[in-house]
Amino acid sequence: MSTVTYLYAGAFYLAALILVLGVARKIMIYARTPVPFKIPTTPAPTTMPGVVGRMFRETVFFESLFKASKWTWIFGWVFHFAMLIVLIRHLRYFSEPVWMWVAVISPFGVYAGWAMLFGLSGLWGRRFLVDRVRYISAPSDHLMLVLLLAIVSTGLMMKYVWHTDIVAVKAFFLGLMRFDPTPLPSDPLLLTHLGLVVILMAVFPVSKLLHVPGVFFSPTRNQVDNPREFRHQGIRSS
Amino acid sequence: MKAEFTIPVVTNIPVTPSVVDGAMAHSRPFVAKSDHQTALGFPEELVEDWHDRALAKMKELLGKYRSLQVFMDSCVKCGACTDKCHYFLGTSDPKNMPVARQDLMRKVYRRYFTFAGKYFPWLVGAVDLTREVLEDWYSYYHQCSECRRCSVYCPYGIDTAEITMAGREILASVGIGQKYSNEIIGKVFKIGNNLGLPQPAMADTLLDLEEEIKEDIDVDVRLPLDDADAEVLLVSPSADFFAEPHVDGLIGYAKVFHQAGIPWTLSSHASEAANFGLFIGNDESMQKVATRIREAALELGVKRIIVGECGHAWRVAYSYWNTLIGPFDFLDPNYPAPQHICEATYDLVQAGALKFDKARNDDKVVTFHDSCNVARGSRMGNMPGGQFIIPRALIRASCNHFVDMREDSIREGTYCCGGGGGLLTDDLTELRVKGALPRVQALHEVIEQYHVTHMAAICAICKSQFTKVLPFYSLGMGMIISVHQLVGDALVLGSEQ
């Protein structure tokens, strides 16, 4: 087998390890850090089911962002939702036979790729066009969008311009999961696409992508508004 | 009103300004003197090893507050908060955008506590902790009123108030405390209230007020102090004892208790509802200030604790007291502990125990300013949003003419008055005037449209702030009134019937 195959197999194992251990470490830190007081942003739900509803609306519909800025919401929500569809489509490279629900959703994944492009472009555009957002953008904020845009673009190009040997790619990943990799096609577009994904996975736990676990640990959102009824003593989050 | 700075122009519609870098870099409150510092257990002046001690303190706080730890990591710089802060809207200074204010700390956090910032600082905007950074902290963590408006709009619920509190705590712990807040907390420790009003002076003031009411309406409405036979301990901001328009609110509470036949008392030991320990992010001070109230309640043997019109005091009472000084198992379980004066009055209205002659307020067209800490840091009644419904219900019960301001400027989206969070001091006048702009702009709309004459509030800071800043915008200082002034004026007292 080629060096490229070994290189990519190794890189994926390493990136997966960094991703899982890195995020797990952060989750442990968040979970162990006390919440000394009741600080939900009110009005807040007064029951736990109410809080579950609030968190659901926050993470599925981006409720607060919707209140804040319709443009950012459109771009941000379309990007995230489309990414979910695209990720589901990609599960067909990791399952054999392909799970029924993945097969059903897969065709939408192609459109979702374009939707991601739309959302990411809008979000990037804001970093240049809105003076306030330009002010707060660090190089890493631009680079994160560039990284995602490059992943989406190379993916779409493989769909529409230069096809790769997708059967061999699937065999590679199925093999990877059995710790028995098979040869990976070495066309540049595929290698670029996969290389960027490796980078994305590896930077996840050391970048602002930590907003994914973070949102679930946000005391202003996940606390029940019941300080008079229950004496909050600071250890648990509710 | 003449000023040494440019008073913002009030436009007909809300305007988001373009950023003007450094527009408010000169704004900083007086630094606490050594005795203000030591009273709270802080070093007298900037310590020599401030760099290491500041970082050690930051590490301690990151391990103490999940909010701070999660908020440092979670921000994606989406910009949702950038046009939400009244201080940014009023000053155009980009460091007054909530995310930029957070970033003053986040860039240091990244430099010393994250992989990316340790090895690739230029990439993620991480910087060393220098004197310049510390100065920036002092300036801009005292341009945040901890009003939490940004936290409503953040998709991750990042609350800049938590970061401001941490910033101030770190600054004070290396010797750069804020004079205004620290001096006041020292007074509460020593005398029992923010104003340093001793017991005899309080007793005199309350007697004078009783006489004033007697002259005014010929009813013997009492304002008892340290009355051991009372059922209710009323804890009010000390401004209620003499400042205008606050005092009319205090008279309003007294009339309500009088008419309902509830024996109540003020306490000279706990003659202050305010708790500036919240503002400076110092839990020990907050607990110490709050403990006086528990002590007074136990000593007087009261059955209920009711909190007067004070925004952050209500947040501390509602959200923090049970944790800090609870449990309240010595109080009557039939009433919420603590209870807000508006809740108490509202329950009496609901029960039909109070009768109003609304026509007495017919000279007024009233609007209501939701105070930030009540709106976004607490609740009233038993349903979410009761803090918006109940005060409005009281105004409607006592006035014929009430209108609300623009929807995004009230309720959970309410703008801070511009003087909250420990910024209600004359050394920050420019900031206070400019920070009031979004509220004044929304007020201007209802003045134009509905000829609003008065704005009611339930916060001592709001009342003092508007009294001071409305004249800068050519509005009368008398526009701002207490909700319980309206209640008290319209309330039909027994002997009048």
**Of B158, B139, B346, nearest to A65 (Cα)?**
B158
Determine the Cα angle at A161 with ends A159 and A162, to 5°: 85
**Of B113, B66, B162, B74, nearest to A31 (Cα)?**
B66
CB contact under 8 A, B155 and A65: yes
- Rounded to whole angstroms, the maximal C-alpha distance in chain B is 78
Cβ contact A28:A44 at 8 Å: no
**Of B299, B310, B222, nearest to B267 (Cα)?**
B299
B115 touches chain A (CB under 8 A): yes
Tokens at residue A216, please? 């679930």
Give the closest of A136, A219, A220 to B77, CB-based: A136
Q: Tell me, what's the pLDDT at B364?
A: 98
* Chain B residues within an 8 Å CB radius of A220: 67, 151, 157-159
Can you give the length of chain B in residues? 497
CB contact under 8 A, B116 and A140: yes
The neighbouring-strand residues paired with B339 are B306
Residue B192, SS3 per DSSP: coil
* Chain B residues within an 8 Å CB radius of A230: 322
Q: What is the dihedral of CA B175, B181, B184, B185, to 10 degrees?
A: -70
Residuewise pLDDT in 10s, chain A (238 residues): 689 999 999 999 999 999 999 999 999 999 999 999 999 999 999 999 999 999 999 999 999 999 999 999 999 999 999 999 999 999 999 999 999 999 999 999 999 999 999 999 999 999 999 999 999 999 999 999 999 999 999 999 999 999 999 999 999 999 999 999 899 999 999 999 999 999 999 999 999 999 999 999 999 999 999 999 999 987 544 3
One-letter amino acid at A50 equals G
Residues 325-354 of B with CB under 8 A from A: 326-327, 336-338
* Chain A residues within an 8 Å CB radius of B388: 43
Q: Does A181 sit behind a cis peptide bond, omega within 30 degrees of 0 on the bond before it?
A: no
Report the C-alpha gap between B129 and B416 in whole angstroms. Answer: 31
Q: Is the dihedral of CA B207, B211, B216, B219 positive or negative?
A: positive
Cβ contact B75:B158 at 8 Å: yes
Cβ contact B461:B418 at 8 Å: no
CATH class for the domain made up of A3-29+66-209 = mainly alpha
Residues 6+ apart with CB under 8 A from A81: A112, A115
- Closest residue of chain B to A143, computed from CA coordinates: B123
On whether ipTM exceeds 0.90, the answer is: yes
- Closest residue of chain A to B89, computed from CA coordinates: A132
- DSSP output for B291-317: HHHHHHHHHHT-SEEEE-S-HHHHHII
Domains, chain B: 43-176 (1.10.1060), 186-496 (no CATH)
Q: What is the 8-class DSSP label of residue B338?
A: S
Give the closest of A39, A45, A62 to B319, CB-based: A39
Interface contacts (A, B; CB < 8 Å): 208
Q: Tell me, what's the pLDDT at A128?
A: 98
For an interface test with B, the pick among A19, A37, A204 (most B C-beta atoms closer than 10 Å) comes out as A37
For residue B45, give Cα distances in angstroms to B31, B36, B93, B171, B296. 9, 10, 29, 10, 34
Tokens at residue A134, please? 């330009």
CB contact under 8 A, B66 and A72: no
Report the C-alpha gap between B76 and B154 in whole angstroms. Answer: 10
Residues 6+ apart with CB under 8 A from A86: A109, A112, A113, A116, A152, A155
Q: Helices B483-490 and B341-350: crossing angle, nearest 10°?
A: 30
Question: Min CA distance, B189 vs chain A (Å)?
Answer: 22
* Chain A residues within an 8 Å CB radius of B63: 33
Give the closest of A37, A206, A219 to B323, CB-based: A37
* Chain A residues within an 8 Å CB radius of B152: 41, 64, 67
Question: Min CA distance, A4 vs chain B (Å)?
Answer: 28
Give the closest of A64, A126, A230 to B155, CB-based: A64
Residue B139, SS3 per DSSP: helix
- β-pairing, B454-457 vs B480-482, is parallel
Question: Min CA distance, B442 vs chain A (Å)?
Answer: 18
Q: Which pTM value belongs to this model?
A: 0.96
Residue B9: count of CB within 10 angstroms of its CB: 9
CB contact under 8 A, A33 and B156: no
CB contact under 8 A, A132 and B377: no
* Chain A residues within an 8 Å CB radius of B326: 231
**Of B237, B297, B240, nearest to B267 (Cα)?**
B297
* Chain A residues within an 8 Å CB radius of B113: none
For residue B459, give Cα distances in angstroms to A134, A148, B310, B343, B375. 37, 48, 4, 15, 11
Report the C-alpha gap between A215 and A26 in whole angstroms. Answer: 13
**Of B231, B223, B228, B190, nearest to B204 (Cα)?**
B223
Residuewise pLDDT in 10s, chain B (497 residues): 556 899 999 999 999 999 999 999 999 999 999 999 999 999 999 999 999 999 999 999 999 999 999 999 999 999 999 999 999 999 999 999 999 999 999 999 999 999 999 999 999 999 999 999 999 999 999 999 999 999 999 999 999 999 999 999 999 999 999 999 999 999 999 888 888 888 999 999 999 999 999 999 999 999 999 999 999 999 999 999 989 999 999 999 999 999 999 999 999 999 999 999 999 999 999 999 999 999 999 999 999 999 999 999 999 999 999 999 999 999 999 999 999 999 999 999 999 999 999 999 999 999 999 999 999 999 999 999 999 999 999 999 999 999 999 999 999 999 999 999 999 999 999 999 999 999 999 999 999 999 999 999 999 999 999 999 999 999 999 999 999 999 999 999 985 54
Residues 259-298 of B with CB under 8 A from A: 283
Exposed (0-12), middle (13-18) or buried (19+): which is B222, by Cβ within 10 Å?
middle
Measured between alpha carbons, how far apart are the two ends of chain A, in Å?
Answer: 54
* Chain A residues within an 8 Å CB radius of B323: 36-38, 227, 231-234
Report the C-alpha gap between B327 and B305 in whole angstroms. Answer: 13
Report the C-alpha gap between A82 and B52 in whole angstroms. Answer: 46
* Chain B residues within an 8 Å CB radius of A132: 16, 19, 79, 82-83, 94, 97
The neighbouring-strand residues paired with B307 are B235, B340
Tokens at residue B462, please? 């709001």
B141 touches chain A (CB under 8 A): no
Residue B371, SS3 per DSSP: coil
Q: Is the dihedral of CA A170, A171, A172, A176 positive or negative?
A: positive
